[in-house]
């Protein structure tokens, strides 16, 4: 398993009229966590793109368990449990740092495309880096 923790704070821009995190912000937290997860194993998104590959989201899901509020500190744990084929699934759990309560959980699935947006096989450098960290 490949895992990374991303820490952030809830800002005023993140909350809705009821004073809780607006539901779609969790997908933005997931995106930041995903970027840091890949960076932590040497797969910076900019380098992947410079080599001509993209990882668009083809599916996204989020379950909401509890509300977070302004100024709360949260952790988003992102995880890759396996990697086979042309799709990559990353799972997420957002928790409140103060008491480790689960706020939201979900996943994103990604495919690989070339610069023209056409589906392609995952590049060798990506496959080997993921496998190295899954098996290491």
Helices (H) and strands (E) in the chain, counts: 3, 5
> Residues 92, 42: contact at Cβ < 8 Å?
no
- Tokens standing for residue 100: 């480790």
Higher pLDDT, 87 or 33: 33
30-82 pLDDT tens trace? 999 999 999 999 999 999 999 999 999 999 999 999 999 999 999 999 999 98
> Percentage of the chain surpassing pLDDT 70?
99
CATH code where residue 110 lies: 3.10.129.10
Q: How many domains does the chain have?
A: 1
Tell whether the model's pLDDT for residue 135 goes beyond 90.
no
> Residues 8, 32: contact at Cβ < 8 Å?
yes
Range of the domain at 97: 2-135
Tell me what pLDDT residue 85 has. Answer: 79
pTM given for the model:
0.93
Report how far residue 34's alpha carbon sits from residue 67's, in angstroms, rounded to the nearest whole number: 22
Report how far residue 16's alpha carbon sits from residue 7's, in angstroms, rounded to the nearest whole number: 21
Task: Quickly state the pLDDT bin for 136 (edges 50, 70, 90).
Answer: low
Task: Just list the catalytic residues.
Answer: 16
Task: Quickly state the pLDDT bin for 92 (edges 50, 70, 90).
Answer: very high
N-term to C-term CA, the chain: 9
3-state secondary structure string across 64-111? ECCCCECCCEEEEEEEECCCCCCEEEEEEEEEECCCCCEEEEEEEEEE
Tell whether the model's pLDDT for residue 83 goes beyond 90.
no
């Amino acid at each position: 398993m490949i895992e990374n923790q991303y820490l952030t704070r809830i800002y005023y821009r993140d909350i809705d009229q009821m004073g809780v995190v607006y539901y779609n912000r969790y997908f933005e937290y997931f995106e930041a966590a995903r970027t840091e997860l890949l960076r932590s194993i040497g797969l910076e998104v900019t380098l992947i793109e410079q080599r001509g590959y993209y990882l668009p989201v083809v599916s996204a899901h989020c379950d909401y368990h509890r509300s977070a509020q302004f100024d709360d500190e949260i952790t988003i744990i992102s995880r890759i449990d396996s990697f086979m084929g042309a799709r990559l699934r990353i799972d997420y759990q957002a928790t409140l740092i103060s008491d480790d309560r689960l706020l939201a959980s979900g996943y994103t699935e990604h495919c690989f495309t070339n610069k023209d947006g056409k589906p392609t096989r995952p590049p060798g450098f990506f496959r080997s880096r993921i496998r190295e960290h899954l098996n290491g």
